[in-house]
Structure 1
């Protein structure tokens, strides 16, 4: 259990550092590049963005290692602490001390994770049977993410960034679930994995999730574009873990109360940290031009 927590926190650290680097690079892109593959083609030429992607991939690899040995409902809350590491990285970069709001957010996030794990005690979970409608759960998540994107296109820039980030978070949660499914299938042999659709779907979901996330980073500062991703991923992953893999959480009244309070504290902490002025430092000078025709 301790090694699982440590690896999960290491994964969250790499994810947080990766998000900070990616947002610094993506925020310089014209708004007209949002939701276009050309945005990724531009970003891939930037060393800072590539370093950020490298850190994120490293975090995802560690996350996959944890998912191989623990349930999604146990891993997702740990990965949600990536915003704490992003905040710490921003504080180091700008050489400023953390205030009471940052400490409050950190306590809420880490405390929410601890409370959820202590009361929920997530356990169990098996690879879905060949005839089980896994695709239906995947379709529901994809449709929900698509609906957020469609709504975002009609709204102001900051709201658009939050909705795109939330859609990206949902896809990241789906990616975690598909990764766990692929790892459980791999236990039956490489051939069993090769003939299933899940590992191929992981690649597709990952690319679309990155595009949505970079579009959110392009639209707004980190304090606006990251918290929604960080909140949506664990919630989506936990729900899919229960629905697809039959993972179990304690459901007696006391446990349910603790689980709900833990998740509320987790989301509240993410919101508090997301409003930190450190995460706003990447917001550019209003005098700078951002392709006015695309506003």
Structure 2
């Protein structure tokens, strides 16, 4: 199957369901994060941050589609959604980074952002992904990105206070 682009010009009810399906887990992750300890909090806030950025990118797509179809930039509700969610997302990012080590927060926001964006494209905007062997390659690539993100996040260079081991000769 060949991929097909979707259309962010969807019904208001579809937007509402998509936003609720994204916002409820974000709120739950934030609530759980603030109950947890340092690294646990950073990890949960990191995932919430990635989801918020993914939702924000969907709103930006909605702005672009509305403007492309003749709406004014300041007359589409998604513009105001971006104006509210954008700064909230950055506040959440700063909270995640402040909550604990980068090793705990970075994989969450790095991996969740594209996952939420792809989920929105497929489920809300009606995009069609390529199937067959391409799906296998896409899955392998996503796994490699995930592994690479975790490996980089655990780098000793990110934690200068960690004890360094000298390699044996």
| Alignment TM class, shorter chain as reference | 0.7 to 0.9
TM-score by length of 1: 0.51
Aligned residue number for residue 237 of structure 1:
117
Which residue of 66, 91, 95 maps to 1:215?
A: 95
TM-score by length of 2: 0.85
Are positions 1:174 and 2:48 aligned together? no
Change (3 A) 1:238 1:130: same
| Structural RMSD (CA) | 2.1
Are positions 1:268 and 2:147 aligned together? yes
> 1:145 & 1:131 partners in 2: Cα distance?
21
Aligned residue number for residue 76 of structure 1:
none
Question: How much has 1:179 moved relative to structure 2?
Answer: 0.6
Paired residues of 1:173 and 1:234 also in contact (CA < 8 A): yes
> 1:231 & 1:276 partners in 2: Cα distance?
17
Aligned residue number for residue 70 of structure 2:
189
Aligned residue number for residue 167 of structure 2:
none
Structure 2: 5+ residue stretches without partners? 163-169
> 2:134 & 2:28 partners in 1: Cα distance?
33
Paired residues of 2:2 and 2:131 also in contact (CA < 8 A): no
> 1:160 & 1:232 partners in 2: Cα distance?
16
Paired residues of 1:128 and 1:134 also in contact (CA < 8 A): no
Structure 1: 5+ residue stretches without partners? 1-119, 285-295
Question: How much has 1:244 moved relative to structure 2?
Answer: 2.1
Change (3 A) 1:239 1:210: same
> 1:178 & 1:131 partners in 2: Cα distance?
12
Paired residues of 2:10 and 2:125 also in contact (CA < 8 A): no
Aligned residue number for residue 136 of structure 2:
257
Question: How much has 1:154 moved relative to structure 2?
Answer: 2.1
Give per-residue Cα distances to partners, 1:211-263, cap 9 Å, x unaligned.
Answer: 111111112222222221101101111111112221221123x2322222221
Change (3 A) 1:129 1:154: closer
> 1:140 & 1:194 partners in 2: Cα distance?
26
Aligned residue number for residue 159 of structure 1:
40
Give per-residue Cα distances to partners, 1:189-210, cap 9 Å, x unaligned.
Answer: 243x433321111121112211
